[in-house]
Structure 1
Amino acid sequence: MKKSSSESKLVISQVMMPSQANVAGNIHGGEIIKLMDSTAYAAARRFARSNVVTARVDELEFHLPILIGDLVICTAQVVYAGRSSMEVAVTVEVEDLECEGRNKALSAFFTMVSLDKKGRPNILPELVIETSEEEAAFEEGKKRYEAHKLKRTSK
């Protein structure tokens, strides 16, 4: 079976509430990471059509504060797929609903593993690349995958 990267693309949006913030009105980083993980999960599951689990998250760096009342838009898409693991690019944009425009708040790569009903690694569909941007993202994902694999085996 083959699937395109674009078939996995998913967007989840949420308005940030006071219960998600500290006393200064800044949203807790963990709330954003949880939303990112949920979005990565849904995109990966859409691609794999099986249960998936988070195996790794690349570095997260917040570029701007996210405040109560902001609309957070998480976009996720599978950019690399191996035998049973895949890399999902997740981008977070923030929109002040009283102003025009969005700003990029952060992004990360989530490595997700496809599992069968017995909890063992499950073979993924082949990732079909349709654009030059997808090709570049695939090659970068492959490099990260190979670097992480080398790091694991050298321990």
Structure 2
Amino acid sequence: MFKHAKESRVTITELMLPSHSNFSGKIHGGHILNLMDQIAFACASKHSRNYCVTASVNKVDFLNPIEVGELVTLKASVNYTGRTSMVVGLRVESENIQTGKKKHCNSSYFTMVAKDESGKNVSVPGLILDNEQSIRRFARSIARQEQARKRSNNFKSSEFKIEEHLEFIKTQNAKIELG
């Protein structure tokens, strides 16, 4: 079975309250991460028609602060489907209610895994790629997975070669004291 991404797209908008703010009066990053996880769950569960869990989050860069009183809109869409997993692309924007000015606050990619009632991984519907953007997003997800695999292998303790890194580390804000 295959489905279009638009069938499971989810958008939520929430008013940012003082209770969501940190000590500097900006919206707490943890609150935004929680909202992102919720919408990724909703999107993945809608696509798979199963309960889903978060397997990983690929890069969350907070680009612009979010102020108390702004509306925050989160958009989620399935970008990639594997056998039991999906990559959900998320975009977070804030909007000043009085001026209407919008800011892109962050984008991220959540890998979600579909589970059955007993907690076992289950197959998910494939994705119908019906335009250039959907093909680009699918291909980008594959490339990100390859980069993550390569990164993990390069720094696996059995593969790590300390001498390849010592000179560079000496140029950083660290002091090497090997016994």
DSSP 3-state at the match of 1:56:
strand
Distance 1:63 1:153 in 2: 29
Mean alpha-carbon deviation: is it higher for 84-93 or for 58-67? 58-67
- The residue that corresponds to 2:143 in the other structure is 143
Q: Deviations over 1:122-151 (max 9, x none)?
A: 101011111110000000111222343555
Q: Deviations over 1:39-83 (max 9, x none)?
A: 111000010000000010011111111011010000000000000
The answer to whether 1:120 aligns with 2:83 is: no
TM-score, with structure 1 as normaliser: 0.94
Tell me which amino acid in the other structure corresponds to 2:38: S
The answer to whether 1:99 aligns with 2:99 is: yes
Deviating beyond 2 angstroms after TM superposition, the runs of 4 or more aligned structure 1 residues are 145-155
DSSP 3-state at the match of 1:136:
helix
TM-score, with structure 2 as normaliser: 0.82
Tell me which amino acid in the other structure corresponds to 2:99: C
Structure 1 gaps, min length 5: none
Q: Specify which structure has the bigger relative contact order, considering alpha-carbon pairs within 8 angstroms and separated by 6 or more residues.
A: 1
C-alpha RMSD of the superposition: 1.5
- The residue that corresponds to 1:6 in the other structure is 6
Identity %: 36
Distance 1:77 1:42 in 2: 10
User: Using a 3 Å threshold, how does the CA distance of structure 1 residues 149 and 115 change in structure 2: closer, same or farther?
Assistant: farther
1:100 CA displacement = 1.9
DSSP 3-state at the match of 1:144:
helix
Distance 1:6 1:149 in 2: 29
How many residues are aligned here? 155
